[in-house]
């Protein structure tokens, strides 16, 4: 199993607190999401705020892998904050924006992850059990750097017998290698690095090659949405 823990703090620069094309935390949607998440914690420590924001992104936006699309603008944090459901990459982008909005340096990381418990339906669409460019977040809280993934909401975990990923401010919070029944679950295969502003155009181009069936379906749906007769 690839070790993606123990990231040196220098890999999350202090300067990673600014607004970017996709980490557009100055947008009112981000301000509203953060305000709701941190109600009652306005004067709390950075650690407590980081924990609460992790929980909010994990649970308030449910995980749905079928929400994958190939329109880069849809990966702006301000767009994600208004969604009911999203998959790992948008959720990681949103958490990064939320953290930066309260002054916590953060970046979006990507790794290829093998899902040993992938559903037959999703596996058929993906044509592989490899989740390329799984999104996670690297944050610097005080002198410590953590890697966390707010992907699976607790309700989903309970339904499928998977332990929910918890971040307590003292250690990384990444995918579990085994599920609650000790079956092999997630395996980190390749770490693709951490970015101040995720290169979504390049990532989506790569994903279109890895998941041609999903790209074809998304293109067809987008064409229908843009058809005036369909819209009417």
> Percent of the chain, pLDDT > 90?
63
103 C-beta neighbours (distance < 10 Å), count: 9
Segment 51-72 shows an average pLDDT of 94
Question: In this structure, are residues 50 and 177 in contact, taking their beta carbons and an 8 Å threshold?
Answer: no
d(CA 66, CA 1): 26
What pTM was estimated for this model as a whole? 0.89
Where does residue 131 fall: left (phi above 0), alpha (psi -120 to 50 degrees), or beta otherwise?
beta
What would the mean pLDDT of 159-171 be, rounded to a whole number?
Answer: 88
62 and 72 Cβ atoms separated by less than 8 Å: no
Averaged over 35-63, what is the pLDDT? 96
Distance between CA atoms of residues 22 and 94, nearest Å: 9
- Provide CATH code, domain 9-226: 3.10.620.30
In angstroms, the CA 177 to CA 158 distance is 17
Region class of 18: left (phi > 0), else alpha (psi between -120 and 50), else beta: beta
Rounded Cα distance between 194 and 7, Å, is 10
Euclidean distance between CA atoms 232 and 230, whole angstroms: 5
Cα separation, 61 vs 153, whole angstroms: 7
CA–CA dist 75, 198 (Å, integer): 9
Question: What does the CA dihedral 59, 64, 65, 68 come to, rounded to 10 degrees?
Answer: -100
Work out the pLDDT band at 5, boundaries 50, 70, 90: very low
- Residue 130: which of 89, 191, 188, 175 has the closest Cα? 188
Residues 86-137 pLDDT 10s: 999 999 999 999 999 999 999 999 999 887 456 778 878 888 888 899 999 9
């Amino acid at each position: 199993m690839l070790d993606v823990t123990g990231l040196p703090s220098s890999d999350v620069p202090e300067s990673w607190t600014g607004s970017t094309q996709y980490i557009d935390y100055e947008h009112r949607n981000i301000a509203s999401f953060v305000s709701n998440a941190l109600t009652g914690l306005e004067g709390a420590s950075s650690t407590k705020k980081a924990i609460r924001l992790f929980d909010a992104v994990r649970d308030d936006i449910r995980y749905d892998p079928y929400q994958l699309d190939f329109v880069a603008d849809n990966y702006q944090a301000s767009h994600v904050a208004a969604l009911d459901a999203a998959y790992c990459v948008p959720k990681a982008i949103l958490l990064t924006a939320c953290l930066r909005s309260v002054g916590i340096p953060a970046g979006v990381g990507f790794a290829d992850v093998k899902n040993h418990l992938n559903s037959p339906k999703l596996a058929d669409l993906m044509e592989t059990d490899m989740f390329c460019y799984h999104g996670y977040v690297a944050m610097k809280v005080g002198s410590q750097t953590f890697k966390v993934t707010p992907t699976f909401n607790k309700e989903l975990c309970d339904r499928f017998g998977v332990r929910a990923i918890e971040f307590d401010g003292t250690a990384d919070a990444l995918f579990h290698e085994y599920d609650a029944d000790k079956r092999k679950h997630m395996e980190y295969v390749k770490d693709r690095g951490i970015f101040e502003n995720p290169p979504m155009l390049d990532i989506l181009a790569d994903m279109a090659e890895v998941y041609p069936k999903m790209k074809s379906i998304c293109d067809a749906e987008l064409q229908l949405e843009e058809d005036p007769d369909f819209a009417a």
